[in-house]
């Protein structure tokens, strides 16, 4: 073969090799894009996304859609480039979403736990907003702490040193100023048993950031609604905490007369805490895209995400700034009255 033939053959081999590399070699990136959106007032399959048993509920209308971000893994070079060029996806380092020190099963479990926690917190925030009573339970106990072996996770805390425990902060306040070695009288209830009293000698807090001069009990308190009815949220294969706000609003809508959203198509996102504060989330540009494509005309945006959302909002999607649950309900009140909510 002459030089020209060799050159042609080498070029063909290189093109084939590059094509195979681009088609099959995996790149250390994932693609982030619009994920599914779910109406928290509607059905998922044959079941309501949110069902309430043992309490009167009221008809709802319109939509209160929670939104998600899709994460596409195991990308080839060509696949990654194709998604990026489409303009609907962004590439991010894979290690951010799949840390090398964790298995995929561990990551999935963490995401599921975060999602389950967001459901529980949404119930607490909604029922507290509506004025239902609250109870404080022991969530976790530090192993080897003074409470270990005396109190148990799930115990209901009634009082500490004679001071009523009405929320997680009140437990801390009741023990403020108590020193290591002092005794604390903890009144609690385990299941359906009568109330009990534990006299616990407090220890020293050796945890990072702990105050060694403050007496240490070793429990983490968690708040739950104290109501005679059950709320069930049925939504599989979704992870993360960012659905909290929309779950909360849907629960409020079902438990109160009238249509909270005025029958309009509202979507949104945001993590929520038991006190109703709305925290920022990631991936809001993709969530807005999917919401608008689904038909949403208003999107509830966590206050700390407003700058990003405002610069990338799809045409025709009105943004409403929410820093807490009061802001969110005011935004829906405005929509119901055909007014503009507070914007980003």
Question: What are the distances in angstroms from CA 108 to CA 102, 121, 239, 242?
Answer: 10, 20, 8, 16
Cα 58 from chain centroid (whole Å) = 26
Instruction: Give the Cα separation of 152 and 147 in Å (integer).
Output: 8
Encoding tokens for residue 102? 């964790």
Buried b (16+ CB within 10 A) or exposed e, 109-136: eebeebbeebbbbbbbbbbbbeebebbb
Nearest to 268 by CA among 289, 246, 240, 290: 246
Task: Please indicate whether residue 242 is annotated as part of the active site.
Answer: yes
Encoding tokens for residue 71? 């994460």
Nearest to 214 by CA among 241, 181, 187: 181
Residue 56 phi/psi, 5-degree rounding, is: -65, 135
Residues in CB range of 175: below 8 A, 6 or more apart: 160, 161, 184, 202, 214, 215, 217
Annotated active-site residue in 118, 145, 159, 242:
242
Encoding tokens for residue 277? 């504060």
Instruction: Give the Cα separation of 3 and 22 in Å (integer).
Output: 28
Q: What is the dihedral of CA 196, 199, 205, 209, to 10 degrees?
A: 40
Instruction: Give the Cα separation of 230 and 224 in Å (integer).
Output: 12
Q: Are 260 and 329 in contact (CB under 8 A)?
A: yes
Instruction: Give the Cα separation of 42 and 130 in Å (integer).
Output: 22
Annotated active-site residue in 135, 254, 264, 287:
287
Instruction: Give the Cα separation of 322 and 301 in Å (integer).
Output: 6
Task: Please indicate whether residue 143 is annotated as part of the active site.
Answer: no
Instruction: Give the Cα separation of 210 and 251 in Å (integer).
Output: 37
The residues annotated as belonging to the active site are 242, 287
């Amino acid at each position: 073969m002459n030089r020209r033939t060799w050159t042609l053959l080498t070029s063909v081999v290189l093109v084939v090799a590059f094509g195979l590399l681009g088609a099959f070699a995996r790149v250390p990136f994932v693609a982030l894009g619009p994920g599914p959106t779910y109406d928290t007032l509607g059905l998922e399959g044959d079941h309501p996304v949110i069902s309430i048993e043992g309490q009167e509920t009221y008809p709802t209308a319109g939509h209160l859609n929670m939104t998600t971000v899709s994460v596409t893994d195991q990308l080839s070079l060509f696949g990654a480039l194709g998604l990026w060029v489409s303009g609907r996806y962004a590439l991010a380092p894979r290690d951010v979403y799949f840390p090398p020190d964790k298995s995929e099963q561990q990551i999935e479990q963490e995401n599921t736990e975060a999602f389950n926690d967001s459901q529980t917190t949404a119930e607490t925030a909604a029922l507290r907003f509506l004025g239902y009573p609250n109870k404080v339970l022991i969530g976790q106990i530090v192993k080897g702490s003074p409470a270990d072996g005396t109190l148990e996770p799930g115990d209901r805390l009634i009082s500490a040193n004679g001071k009523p425990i009405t929320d997680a902060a009140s437990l801390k306040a009741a023990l403020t100023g108590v020193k290591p070695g002092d005794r604390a009288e903890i009144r609690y209830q385990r299941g359906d048993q009568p109330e009990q009293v534990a006299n616990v000698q407090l220890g020293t807090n050796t945890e990072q950031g702990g105050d060694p001069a403050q007496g240490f009990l070793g429990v983490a308190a968690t708040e739950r609604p104290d109501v005679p009815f059950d709320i069930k949220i049925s939504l599989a294969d979704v992870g993360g905490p960012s659905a909290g706000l929309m779950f909360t609003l849907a629960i409020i809508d079902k438990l109160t007369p009238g249509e909270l959203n005025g029958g309009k198509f509202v979507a949104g996102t945001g993590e929520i805490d038991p006190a109703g504060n709305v925290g920022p989330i990631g991936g809001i540009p993709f969530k807005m895209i999917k919401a608008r494509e689904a038909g949403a005309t208003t999107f509830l945006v966590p206050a700390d995400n407003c700058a990003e959302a405002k610069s990338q909002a799809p045409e025709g999607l009105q943004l409403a700034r929410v820093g807490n649950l009061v802001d969110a309900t005011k935004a829906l009140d405005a929509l119901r009255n055909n007014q503009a909510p507070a914007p980003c």
